[in-house]
């Protein structure tokens, strides 16, 4: 999307979703009530259930269906490609307790230019969600940022569940002003609850592996740049 076709300070809420038929309506009920949202886009990432059908029931929602699963990073990039907004707010599809005012808290600091990226962290929700975000407060799927910054990050379409780590790393490199806001009463659905203990544990292990690969990839890129800089000197 060229800058000429981008609407200044317009907001797109993008929800990457994979097999979230049973949970996405809770999120969309809140998102459609967010008055700051100019666009709402659900990217159905190769789902094999009725996620796309559920999202299509909401008249304000644009559904982008992908024929194959490309991973969270790719789905996020695809959502941005289908939007025309200057400000992008990403929201996970499996949240409990989300309300429109939570979205306002994430988006407003970007609209007012109080920061360059705003991340929502869980408090007062489910114990394990709160604990995970206390340990890793910046690995959150709930965040708002300027489109220009998002599109400046390379190879995001190749990153799966390591996408938040990658975004955080590039935000630090570009010295972005990052703000955290507390989303009281919000939590996500654990994979073990979605898929059962065995499949959920396997999915969790895969998630950690993908996060690890993203961290290694970013470090390698950084090291290559350092070497190139040294050799140039």
Please report, for the chain, the start and end positions of each structural domain, with discontinuous segments joined by +: 3-190
Closest among 205, 143, 213, 222 to 176, alpha carbons compared: 143
Pick the CATH number of 3-190 from 3.40.50.720, 2.60.40.420, 2.60.120.10, 3.90.550.10: 3.90.550.10
Percent with pLDDT over 70 in the chain: 71
Residues contacting 137, CB < 8 A, separation 6+:
119, 121, 180
Q: Note the pLDDT of residue 154.
A: 86
Position 194 scores a pLDDT of: 59
Q: Average pLDDT, whole number, for the chain?
A: 82
Structure tokens at 176: 């972005």
pLDDT tens for each residue of 35-54: 999 999 999 999 999 999 99
The per-residue pLDDT for 135 is: 47
């Amino acid at each position: 999307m060229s800058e000429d076709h981008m609407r200044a300070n317009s907001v797109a809420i993008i929800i990457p979703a994979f097999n979230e038929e049973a949970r996405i309506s809770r999120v969309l009920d809140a998102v459609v009530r967010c008055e700051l949202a100019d666009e709402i886009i659900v990217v159905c990432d190769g789902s094999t259930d009725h996620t796309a059908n559920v999202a299509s029931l909401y008249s304000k929602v644009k559904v982008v269906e992908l024929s194959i699963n490309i991973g969270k990073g790719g789905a996020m990039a695809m959502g941005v490609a289908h939007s025309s907004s200057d400000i992008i707010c990403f929201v996970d599809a499996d949240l409990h307790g989300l309300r429109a005012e939570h979205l306002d808290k994430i988006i407003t600091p970007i609209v007012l230019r109080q920061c360059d990226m705003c991340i929502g962290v869980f408090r007062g929700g489910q114990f394990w969600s709160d604990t995970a975000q206390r340990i890793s407060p910046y690995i959150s799927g709930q965040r708002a940022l300027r489109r220009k910054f998002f599109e400046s990050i390379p190879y995001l379409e190749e990153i799966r569940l390591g996408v938040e780590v990658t975004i955080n790393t590039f935000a630090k490199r570009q010295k972005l002003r990052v703000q955290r806001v507390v989303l009281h009463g919000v939590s996500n659905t654990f994979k073990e609850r979605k898929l059962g203990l065995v499949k959920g544990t396997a999915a969790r292990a895969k998630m950690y592996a993908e996060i690890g690969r993203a961290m290694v990839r970013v470090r390698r890129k950084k090291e290559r740049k350092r070497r190139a800089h040294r050799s140039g000197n």
